Amino acid sequence: MPANSWPENDYYDELDPLNSLLSDLSADEDEESVVETQNMSLPSRFQGRRRKAALVLTIVWSGTIALHLASWGFIFVLALTALLGFHALEVVFARPRHYHKEVQGELPSVSVLVAAKNEEAVIGRLVKSLCSLEYPGGQYEVWIIDDYSTDKTPQLLAELAQEYKQLKVFRRSAQATGGKSGALNEVLPLTKGEVIAVFDADAQISSDLLLQVVPLFQRKNVGAVQVRKAIANAKENFWTKGQMAEMALDTWFQQQRIAISGTGELRGNGQFVRRTALESCGGWNEETITDDLDITFRLHLDKWDIECTFYPAVQEEGVTNAIALWHQRNRWAEGGYQRYLDYWDLILKNRMGTRKTWDLLMFMLTMYILPTAAIPDLLMSIARHRLPLLSPVTSLSLAMSVVGMFAGLRRIRQDQKFNLSTTFLLMLQTLRGSLYMLHWLVVMSSTTARMSVRPKRLKWVKTVHSGSG
């Protein structure tokens, strides 16, 4: 299942909605800050990423080397480990939030959006499931955005539109830009839903999904909800089994971080966003390669919360070989790191609030800084014939991954009766998933280094779907 991608030449001179958000976020600052933000067009915020990445890489590498040479270096590492350990304990022992399962009053209207390009293998199944949801017919609509497909997708959509009255098809022109973000932004003004749901073309969902997710928006400051992603073809091979465990780990961490008032995140497929929150953020950012990760930051910067739920889940196809996984995860890693480079000043101004900012910085240290520091740490340990200096904090990070994966896999089976054989199976899945997760060390360290020396063209990288699972 090779990854398929196409370039998007979509560098604009101005993106007013997003720029408006940045101006609004600075409205309570002094006059100097307001002037600085208002004069800053969005391309200027999203330009210079390579320079910023190079600066961070230089600081991390030189700092790691300095710690090896300083007499107090190990003490510093132990203090950092204790700091991260305190946050880790908070995460592990947090109790997930509970939600009302029924909506008080009328159900809000929902617009379901899917950006599709060359999806003839899965589009029929997707439309059938989306148009058969258990929700009042007049209260939800389905929009399939055909991003100028060149296969049989347009013909299939035309036939399906005759069969399902909720289905609306929007075909983009060959000159349309912005990738998935551009496709979603283009159709957003045509929709009427109070909640915007976004799925990928390979999504497989339960018929009561809307009825289970919509109640989470009853809390007024909830701007978005992410449902757990599950792997439809999980039994296929080592890579898909690993992705299944990885998604359990990711959702568990999301719920635990949210429980301590940290930052929940969106994952693209199966994301629900309140329209007012989306509009206040200016829609999806067309200057990023990961629209979901970018809007996560902008929602939090605009004081919205993001919730995450294990049930219901959205199933999707996992990539089935190492090469496709490498390309996909490099894009995810770059998009995740990219947003820190784009919004670092707003984060440091504590726009999100102290709890969220603290959680975000702990996450950044664990996911991006430590893998980047691992290379100079290893080189210095070899040169000085000693163990890697960052071993304590690396061990903590790996231990958290193992604990979180086991807990996440168990939470998926929360309705099942546990016995010795079930526990042993979960331990085997955790072991296999932990071995699989080691690829992130290579992905993160190589991505942060590459971003420092090599510019990347803006792309919407699409995984080819075969309809498996």
pLDDT, tens digit, 9 for 90 and up, residues 181-220: 999 999 999 999 999 999 999 999 999 999 999 999 999 9
Task: Return the ∠ at Cα 149 (arms to 145 and 153), rounded to 5°.
Answer: 80
Q: What value does the mean pLDDT take over residues 303-328?
A: 94
**Dihedral over Cα of 95, 96, 97, 98: its sign:** negative
**Tokens encoding 138:** 């007049």
Q: How far is CA 206 from CA 130, 179, 214, in A?
A: 9, 28, 14
| Global pTM value | 0.87
Q: What is d(CA 130, CA 168) in angstroms, rounded to the nearest whole number?
A: 12
Q: What is d(CA 440, CA 456) in angstroms, rounded to the nearest whole number?
A: 20
Q: State the Rg of the chain over Cα.
A: 22
Q: What is d(CA 325, CA 336) in angstroms, rounded to the nearest whole number?
A: 16
Q: Are 158 and 126 in contact (CB under 8 A)?
A: no
Residue 241 has pLDDT above 80, yes or no: yes
Q: Are 51 and 453 in contact (CB under 8 A)?
A: no
Please give, one letter per residue, the 3-state secondary structure of 144-193. EEECCCCCCHHHHHHHHHHHCCCEEEEECCCCCCCHHHHHHHHHHHHCCC
As a dihedral over the C-alpha atoms of residue 171, residue 176, residue 182, residue 186, rounded to 10 degrees, the angle is -50
Show Cβ contacts of residue 386 under 8 Å, excluding neighbours closer than 6 positions.
Answer: none
* pLDDT of the residue at 106: 86
CATH T-level topology, domain 1-469: Spore Coat Polysaccharide Biosynthesis Protein SpsA; Chain A (3.90.550)
Among 172, 33, 57, residue whose Cα is nearest residue 114 = 172
Show Cβ contacts of residue 308 under 8 Å, excluding neighbours closer than 6 positions.
Answer: 225, 226, 227, 228, 251, 254, 255, 258, 264, 265
* pLDDT of the residue at 100: 74
Beta bridge partners of 306: 224
Confidence of residue 129 (pLDDT cuts 50, 70, 90): very high
Q: What value does the mean pLDDT take over residues 310-337?
A: 93
**Tokens encoding 135:** 């929700």
Q: What value does the mean pLDDT take over residues 314-325?
A: 94
φ/ψ of 403, rounded to 5, equals: -60, -45
